[in-house]
Amino acid sequence: MNAPAIVWFRNDLRVADNPALTAAARTDAPLVALYVLDDESPGEWSPGAAARWWLHHSLAALAESLAERGVQLTLRRGRAQYVFEQIVAEIGAGAVFWNKLYEPWAIRRDEEITAQLHDDGVETHCFHESLLFEPETLRTKQGESFRAFTPFWRACLAAPPPEAPLPAPTGLHAAPLPPHSDDLDAWRLLPQNPDWAVGMRKAWLVGETAARAEFADFARHHVVDYKAERDFMGRVGVSRLSPHLHFGELSPREVWRAISEPASIGGEAYLRELGWREFCHHLLIAHHDLPERPLDRTFERFPYRDDERALDAWRNGQTGYPLVDAAMRELWITGWMHNRARLVSASFLIKHLLIDWRKGERWFWDTLVDADLANNSANWQWVAGCGADAAPYFRIFNPALQGEKFDPDGAYVRRYVPELAELDAHYIHRPWTAPEDVLRAAGVRLGDTYPHPIVDHAEARDRALAAFEWMRGQASLREA
């Protein structure tokens, strides 16, 4: 009998279009499916609480899917290098198959494990599957990494198209004596007391089957209108696929194939968003300190404010700006936030409150079910104006105007800020401008049932621009 082969699942928690699983199955070796919960290697970027909730349910779904094919999912907790020392010795593995990750810590870890396994005479096979294009293969004419999205996306479209997705393998041969597995519940990935995941359970179905159903609905009913509808927060205009893509319950190649054939204006706009996801990973590969340091080093001198009260008001959705508060409450309740709302709420923290973008990045990391190191860090830097192809610093979103434009009837605010639900749409994004009798009729008492704005927009904008000019002045002095 062939020596057992280990399929190491990571952020590829599916059986269809899983190159590592397919390649291992083709060897006819008895398979051991393994997931390692390694909280040590990522350090401070170990998955946050919301992502751990998702991971629990995704692993349960994967275990069920593999069991239907006669294979047990083995769970082990600990530093991956040590886990492989133990499990290879236990089963006499001859090969390990896995799909590539792009986080800097994962690259270092995988290199160490590859060397360790080769020293033990174990073959390793690594595959590309979580992105459409390998980040290292896309370069400017000067052979450098891209710093602007549009030329990057042109390079993607000019490259050979992504390979066709693979069907789920059939006829898997499980190891006759699978190794001992940890109990998933014992990992305590779910909230204990209090149970803060009630809203997430209502908002999401997790796992490969759920991902496919979500994508099929989007592709059938919504992608054609995606470009026109994607910014409207109170409507069903976006795909909500980001957590499924992050955990690999759905392959980006499957999405690409289904959306690009046949192409539509909405489909092209959606593929461009997939391109932005690729761009974020391209940046992280090129700049390993992206989560911690601004790409534009000038911003290391930016005069951020240390204001815990304002930070707490932002986190808790109590800023007095209804759109910002709805966004932050949507995040807390569902573990997700509409993309337009992410832009507005992040801009508010950085530019209205002058709070360091890294504090917002950390909060999103802990509260988003789709928290992804590349996307999270690159997007926060983009909003802050210090990243690649960043929005100009002087672009400061007015939350009230954004609400009136992209939530015109107030549906989004009414859903997540119920204390304003009875307020007329004319005032719902600016309750501080409503006459007293209108507020009273809607049951709103500013400063009591709903807060006054914690900053004035015009004053905050002027303060942010002054801080930016001060930073530029400091940079000029230093250069002189």
Is 126 in a helix, a strand, or coil?
strand
DSSP for 18-76, please give it.
-HHHHHHHHTTPPEEEEEEE-SSTTGGGS--HHHHHHHHHHHHHHHHHHHHTT-PEEEE
Q: Cβ(103)–Cβ(373) under 8 Å?
A: yes
Give the 3-state secondary structure percentages of the chain, helix then strand then coil, rounded to 5: 50, 5, 40
Closest CA to 102 of 137, 131, 132: 131
Q: Which helix (H) or strand (E) holds 92?
A: none
Phi, psi for 5 (deg, rounded to 5): -110, 135
DSSP-derived letter for residue 297 is: G
* CA–CA distance, 396 with 229 (Å, rounded to integer): 22
How far is Cα of residue 110 from the mean position of the Cα atoms in its chain?
22
pLDDT value for 478: 67
Question: The tokens 């986190």 sit on which residue?
Answer: 315
The yes or no reply on domain 131-163+208-286 and CATH 3.40.50.2300 is no
- Rg of the chain over CA atoms, in angstroms? 24
Two tokens, residue 374: 């590349």
Tokens for 94, please give them. 């001859």
Residue 166: C-alpha distances to residues 210, 420, 454 (Å):
19, 49, 52
Domain layout of the chain by residue ranges: 5-129, 131-163+208-286, 297-479
Give the Å distances, CA to CA, from 260 to 19, 215, 238, 361: 22, 14, 17, 32
Domain 5-129: what homologous superfamily? HUPs (3.40.50.620)
Q: Which amino acid belongs to residue 381?
A: Q
pLDDT along the chain (480 residues), means of 10: 92 98 96 97 96 98 97 98 96 97 97 97 96 93 94 96 94 91 98 94 98 96 95 95 98 95 88 97 97 96 97 98 98 98 98 98 98 97 92 88 98 98 98 98 98 98 96 74
- Give backbone dihedrals phi and psi of 446, rounded to 5 degrees, phi first: -65, 135
Provide the pLDDT for residue 261: 82
Q: Alpha helix (H) ranges present in 407-456?
A: 411-416, 436-441
- Cα(100)–Cα(107) distance, integer angstroms: 8
Amino acid at 348: F
Q: State residue 375 phi and psi, 5-degree precision.
A: -65, -45
* Residue 326, helix vs strand vs coil: helix
Contacts (Cβ under 8 Å, ≥6 apart) of 96? 5, 6, 7, 8, 84, 88, 117, 122, 123, 124, 125
Answer yes or no: same fold for 5-129 and 297-479.
no
Residues 6+ apart with CB under 8 A from 134: 128
Pairwise CA distance, residues 313 & 351, whole Å: 15
Q: Measured between alpha carbons, how far is 341 from 166 in angstroms, rounded to an integer?
A: 35
How far apart CA 286 and CA 173 sit, in angstroms, is 40
Tell me if 256 sits within 8 A of 274, measured CB to CB: yes
CA dihedral 198, 204, 209, 215 (to 10 degrees): 180
Residues 6+ apart with CB under 8 A from 121: none
DSSP state of 349: I
Domain 297-479 sits in which CATH superfamily? Answer: DNA Cyclobutane Dipyrimidine Photolyase, subunit A, domain 3 (1.10.579.10)
> Helix, strand or coil for residue 408?
coil
Global pTM?
A: 0.96
Give the torsion through C-alpha atoms of 85, 87, 88, 92, to 10 deg.
150
CB environment 298-320: b (16+ within 10 A), e (fewer): bbeebebeeeeebbebbbebbbb
Residue closest to 249 by CA, chosen among 60, 475, 40, 438? 60
Sorted by sequence, the CB contacts under 8 Å of residue 389 that are 6+ apart come out as: 147, 148, 149, 150, 279, 382
Strand partners, 97: 7, 125
> 420 is written with which tokens?
């304003």
Alpha carbon distance 479, 467 (integer Å): 19
| Structure-derived torsion over alpha carbons of residues 456, 459, 462, 465, reported in degrees to the nearest 10 | -40
Calpha distance 357→223 (Å, rounded): 32
